[in-house]
Amino acid sequence: MSATFGNRLKVTLFGESHSAAIGIVIDGLPAGMEINEEKIKQAMRRRAPNASIASTKRKEPDIPEIVSGYFKGKATGTPLAAFIRNQDTRSRDYEKTAALLRPGHADYTGFMKYHGANDYRGGGHFSGRLTAPLVFAGSIARQLLEREGVRIAARIQSIAEITDEGSYSFSQLEEAEIKEFAAVDSGAAEKMQEKIFEAHSNGDSVGGIIECVVDGLPVGLGEPFFGSVESRLAHMMFSVPAIKGIEFGKGFELTTMQGSEANDSPVLQDGKVSFETNYNGGIGGGITNGMPVVFRVAIRPTPSIAKEQKTVDIKAMKEAALRIHGRHDSCIVPRAVEVVKCAAALVMADLWLEVYNG
């Protein structure tokens, strides 16, 4: 199993949803880099469940315990390791139906690949629970970028068919971070939340789209083809459970345009090259062009729902029915906003260090 990502800034995830702890090792942080623990706590709180009836009732304190690579408020330059204890597990919810393959989960693929040795409780290593240490590491990477003038913001663009098609400034996107529901338009946010509650009431779930913007990047990060900014971001984003699609700039909308409309024309601003539009999301030939990197990810509906679904009993090898009990989000999009920002920070910090700390 490969649980390591990155070139200059390497991160390795470990743990399972119901194991004693989950955690991460970060290798490549610059020695002497100051780490603000309060910013880490803020990021962890934004990923955590809230008081909404549609949010999971699993309440984990999610306090990272740093055990190496950190001394007197700074990174030492050696691998920084941290773990987060799992304290609110209810493994009995999974033992009763251990042989029943949960629709939409990795139960079948995990069982087959690991010859039945996989930890199925809460999804094991496949669980979205592993995004907690990812947020921890990403919040540190975000601090590394911020000291260089690079900022990251994200918003909820849609929930199910409820969409906010507004075009917003970067500062407006940043303001969404302090909201419990990270949508810019309050009217659209209210309708989105109503949609989530409706799905919850019906024992079902919904997904949505998150838009993320990285501002302040210099020209020249990334490599053509296999090392492109799109490739690296896509690799990371598809490593996050529930993300099923990604687009950059205008994305699929570019297919409806002609070349004369889709091209970002170079212009001069204050003696420097800029671009009249940013339809290609701040990337040209896989390399940052100085414009904001803009991408959107599609988050599927939470697979664990209260409705009865068809499945297979893998031990008895017969078809069966399953109604999932336990504590699950009716929509993980609100919590995933922080995950997407932190995951993007890990990629962009890795790219940054390749050029400026080589």
**What are the binding residues?**
47, 125-127, 285, 327
Instruction: Give the number of other CB atoms < 10 A from CB of residue 145.
Output: 21
| E-assigned strand segments in the chain | 4-5, 10-15, 21-27, 65-68, 70-71, 74-75, 80-85, 151-159, 162-163, 208-215, 243-248, 266-269, 272-275, 283-284, 287-288, 293-299, 309-313, 318-322
* Residue 172 φ/ψ, nearest 5 degrees: -65, -40
Cα end-to-end distance, the chain, whole Å: 28
Instruction: Give the number of other CB atoms < 10 A from CB of residue 316.
Output: 10
Q: Which residues are annotated as a binding site for NADP(+)?
A: 47
Separation of alpha carbons 97 and 101, rounded Å: 8
Residue 52: its H or E element: none
CA nearest to 347, candidates 298, 289, 295, 270 = 295
Using CA atoms, how far residue 155 sits from 101, 138, 256, in Å, is 34, 17, 25
Q: Which residues are annotated as a binding site for FMN?
A: 125-127, 285, 327
Asked whether 70 and 80 are in contact (CB, 8 A), the reply is yes
- Based on its alpha-carbon atoms, the radius of gyration of the chain, rounded to whole angstroms, reads 21
Instruction: Give the number of other CB atoms < 10 A from CB of residue 307.
Output: 12
Indicate the Cα dihedral angle 120, 202, 188, 291, nearest 10°.
Answer: 20
Separation of alpha carbons 288 and 277, rounded Å: 14
Separation of alpha carbons 220 and 283, rounded Å: 9
Residue 31, CB half-sphere, CA atoms under 13 Å: how many?
3
82 DSSP β-pair partners = 24, 66
- What strand order describes the sheet that includes 208-215? 162-163, 151-159, 208-215, 293-299, 243-248
